[in-house]
Amino acid sequence: MDMQMLILILTATVAASIPLVYAALGELVVEKSGVLNLGVEGMMVIGAVCAFMVAAETGLLWLAVLAGAVAGALMALIFAVLTLSLMANQVASGLALTIFGVGLSAFIGQAYTSVALDGLKGLSLPWLSSLPVVGKLLFSYDILAYGALLAFFGVSLFLYRSRAGLILRAVGESPHSAHALGYPVIRIRYFAVLFGGAMAGLGGAYLSVVYTPLWAENMTAGRGWIALALVVFATWRPGRVLLGALLFGGATIAQFHVQGLGVEIPSQFLTMLPYLATIVVLVIISRDANVIRLNAPASLGQVYHDDVH
């Protein structure tokens, strides 16, 4: 394998990990507040189709990305009303949200399946992009890729270096204690869920206007479920989310390059490689119950209601 091929694989791995970073970081914040939203896949695919529709109709990619984030947040709002206001079961509501999102996206995206976009291009940074090896590896991505890195730092600083992040984590650990101290638990969880939806929508928008600038039914292809698994894999820590996203991005890219390198592996096995890696990682993590118990928010998935919100 020559250097050019290695650089190509590494940059493709980073690109494949971007939607996972957005979706997983959003879900991390949601779960830190004590809410379990299994509707990430549905929010991602709705974000993807809405972003593509806006891009195809207006040609404004920045507006398309914004539309994807808003669409994801609106999907999350449905989940929030059901689970936080009406106290529906979070697992069932999340699954329903995914089924609804996949079906709705297929319906409203029918007219756009044959449309192609001139997607968002990588940035060309003076001097930096032309550097040998490093220029291609670090300074050749689009603005949303660098936005994912900023989102990682922003979420990390918010959760562990801000008072608001401390309150959010307190709500996730013990909502009754947080309420006793005067914090509006339901309102805080609403904001967390909406943020998670917007981030999932951004991940979907990246797929349809940057990664593969076209619309295809169910184009997220299970990435929402992988993002959910990433949060557990990372034991609810942002740094590990970033590393895990790169790992799963590499597994996704492997299916396109392994056979090209002459390795005799059936294409069907390579296609299922990212999902197989997800299952293996979850099995390994689940073997140590202490890791889950010590790191998961104590009230995760539990229905909570207060009278003052």
Domain boundaries, the chain: 3-295
pLDDT at 309: 41
Place of tokens 């529906």: 88
Residue whose C-alpha is closest to residue 229's, from 27, 18, 92, 44: 27
Could you tell me the pTM of the whole model? 0.92
Average pLDDT, the chain: 89
Q: Label residue 70 by pLDDT band (50, 70, 90).
A: very high
CA distance 11 to 169: 34
pLDDT at 260: 64
Greatest mean pLDDT among 46-55, 217-226, 235-244, 256-265: 46-55
Tell me the pLDDT tens digit for each residue of 76-131: 999 999 999 999 999 999 999 999 999 999 999 999 998 888 888 877 777 777 77
Tell me the pLDDT tens digit for each residue of 250-279: 888 877 777 666 667 776 777 787 778 778
CA distance 214 to 209: 7
CA distance 199 to 206: 11
Share of the chain above pLDDT 70, in %: 96
76-111 in b/e burial notation, b at 16+ Cβ within 10 A?
A: bebbbebbbeeebebeebbebbbebbbeebeeebee
CA distance 160 to 203: 24
Q: For the domain covering 3-295, report its CATH number.
A: 1.10.3470
